[in-house]
Amino acid sequence: MTDRFDHFEVNDVRFPTSRTLDGSDAMNTAPDYSAAYLVAHTTGGEAGHGFVFTIGRGNEVAATAIRAVEPLVVGLGVDDVLSDMGGFWKRLTHDSQLRWLGPEKGVMHMAIGAVVNAIWDLYARRQRQPLWKLLADLTPGQVVELVDFRHLSDVLSPEEAQEILTRAAPGKQERERRLLADGYPAYNTSAGWLGYSDEKVLDLVGAALSQGFSHLKLKVGADIERDAGRLKLVRDLVGPDIKLSIDANQVWDVGEAITDIARLSPFGLYWVEEPTSPDDIMGHARIARAIAPVRVATGEHVANRVVFKQMLASNAVGVCQIDACRVGGVNENVAILLLAAKFGVPVCPHAGGVGLCEIVQHLSMFDYVALSGSTEGRWIEFVDHLHEHFVDPVQVVNGRYLAPTRPGAGTEMRPESVSDFAFPTGRAWQELSYTV
């Protein structure tokens, strides 16, 4: 009998991170890192895992959105889906009724991304490969078939994508060998949360240096003089050779961004992340011209490949920050990686939160082996939070992500974490309700 998709199991899982201000920044002042967590089950007993990452309130909306996708998937043959992942992506994204709720943006699109990622996780498990390896072993033609070129073709055609991939093919084996031996560079954000005291930041910066990181990121944007003071303290501690980037999390308007970045530039900035609204392509382009050679970075809140297309084509970003769980999953991120490769812009993924490191590392590793061919000027974000809740947590050693070797996309949460942090009924939330 043909294996089919049988049902979705969806959980609202939340971690009370706002109690310690882990993850705090100028826009996201008190996040409770959360996941609308999906296990997609087949009739044959296989399962794939994916999630929407949120920061607390509204996680139930994302869970409802995942459930809205379930009827489009249940009943489909597993082999049919896995042999045409590009077609599967289109089936979900172009559903004529669900599409109205975006289109291709916001909660509904993130939910589709979670479903797509879950099916890729299942696919990689079935192939007994980590996701990065499954993707890297596809032929250029197979990669092109994953991508929806609708609304991209004025800037990137299937033929050009095929050329880019074909050009990158030589050296794949050698790069895979080096990836397995040396891992992939990481940068560290754990030290620089806005809600931490200067003392705590300096302690954590010291710890990050001793762990081998050579690129650190600090949150800014609440108070420019406090930002300048903290940056000076950190630069004095780390010396001139450590790369320092800053992240304003969208709080500035365009003019304000240019003024404030000028105030902070003397401390030596590598990139400035999310200087303004993630929807403001023209604003990012203006900021990029004003602050060069400091780079503008954005992407964790960029809604889809059409916005990335414009950001890249207009030189609005010098660093392209994909997020595994914002756009429509693996397929759309492959499109964005292709766009970045076309424009020669390095991809440095957004990670942290809960589970974002675990999944997004696969995309950067695929990018290195099969597409960009380089780790130069590229780092995956690393934040040392909540990895213990995953069955196959990332391993970051001496400032580098070790290439995962276990089958799957890294997206499986430990069952006890899912039950303990279920919101609001799980043990962790019940205990907190006694102590508030």
* SS3 call for 53: strand
Site for its own copies in 303-322 (CB under 8 A): 303-304, 306-307, 309-310, 313-314
- Say how far apart CA 369 and CA 256 lie, in whole Å: 39
Of all helices (H) and strands (E), which one includes residue 39? strand 34-42
Which residue bears the tokens 């896995």?
82
Nearer to its own copies by C-beta: 4 or 67?
Answer: 67
CB-based contact 284:317 (threshold 8 Å): yes
Query: At closest approach, how far in Å is the CB of 193 from its own copies?
Result: 14
Nearer to its own copies by C-beta: 275 or 407?
Answer: 275
Query: At closest approach, how far in Å is the CB of 359 from its own copies?
Result: 17
Using CB under 8 A as the binding criterion, the count of chain residues that bind its own copies stands at 64
**Which 8-state DSSP code applies to residue 369?**
I
- Position 111, amino acid: A
Query: At closest approach, how far in Å is the CB of 160 from its own copies?
Result: 14
Active-site residue (options: 219, 362, 385, 389): 219
Active-site residue (options: 215, 217, 350, 385): 350
Applying CB under 8 A, does 73 fall inside the site for its own copies? no
Applying CB under 8 A, does 43 fall inside the site for its own copies? no
Q: Which of 7, 19, 44, 58 binds its own copies (CB under 8 A)?
A: 58
- Say how far apart CA 404 and CA 19 lie, in whole Å: 31
Applying CB under 8 A, does 383 fall inside the site for its own copies? no
Applying CB under 8 A, does 219 fall inside the site for its own copies? no
Applying CB under 8 A, does 405 fall inside the site for its own copies? no
Query: At closest approach, how far in Å is the CB of 111 from its own copies?
Result: 8
Region of 120-128, 138-146, 184-192, 297-305 interacting with its own copies (CB under 8 A): 297-305
Query: At closest approach, how far in Å is the CB of 227 from its own copies?
Result: 19
Is 243 a catalytic site residue?
A: no
Q: Which of 38, 92, 108, 422 binds its own copies (CB under 8 A)?
A: 108
Query: At closest approach, how far in Å is the CB of 326 from its own copies?
Result: 10
- Say how far apart CA 165 and CA 142 lie, in whole Å: 10
Applying CB under 8 A, does 350 fall inside the site for its own copies? no
By the 10 Å C-beta count (0-12 exposed, 13-18 middle, 19+ buried), 67 is classed as: middle
- List the x/- string, 115-154, binding to its own copies by CB under 8 A: ----------------------------------xxxxxx
Of all helices (H) and strands (E), which one includes residue 237? helix 224-238
Which residue bears the tokens 């290195």?
368
CA nearest neighbour of 375 among 212, 119, 191, 182 = 182
Applying CB under 8 A, does 30 fall inside the site for its own copies? yes
Applying CB under 8 A, does 27 fall inside the site for its own copies? yes
Is 350 a catalytic site residue?
A: yes
- Say how far apart CA 66 and CA 178 lie, in whole Å: 38
Applying CB under 8 A, does 102 fall inside the site for its own copies? yes
Applying CB under 8 A, does 104 fall inside the site for its own copies? yes
CB-based contact 242:267 (threshold 8 Å): no
Query: At closest approach, how far in Å is the CB of 358 from its own copies?
Result: 19
Nearer to its own copies by C-beta: 23 or 404?
Answer: 23
β-bridge pairing 396-397 and 47-54: unpaired
Q: In angstroms, how far is CA 146 from the centroid of its own chain?
A: 19
Nearer to its own copies by C-beta: 260 or 280?
Answer: 280
CA nearest neighbour of 118 among 230, 40, 62, 184 = 40
Q: In angstroms, how far is CA 211 from the centroid of its own chain?
A: 23
- Say how far apart CA 161 and CA 104 lie, in whole Å: 22
Applying CB under 8 A, does 64 fall inside the site for its own copies? yes
Q: In angstroms, how far is CA 375 from the centroid of its own chain?
A: 17
Site for its own copies in 254-293 (CB under 8 A): 254-256, 276-283, 286
CB-based contact 352:379 (threshold 8 Å): no
Q: In angstroms, how far is CA 387 from the centroid of its own chain?
A: 15
Sign (positive or negative) of CA dihedral 259, 264, 268, 270: negative
Applying CB under 8 A, does 68 fall inside the site for its own copies? yes
Phi and psi, residue 247, nearest 5°: -140, 115
Region of 51-59, 239-247, 338-346, 375-383 interacting with its own copies (CB under 8 A): 51-59
Nearer to its own copies by C-beta: 312 or 365?
Answer: 312
If you count them, how many residues does the chain have? Answer: 436
Catalytic residues: 219, 350
Residue numbers of the site for its own copies (CB under 8 A)?
A: 27-32, 54-58, 60-62, 64-65, 68, 71, 95-111, 149-154, 250, 253-256, 276-283, 286, 301, 303-304, 306-307, 309-310, 313-314
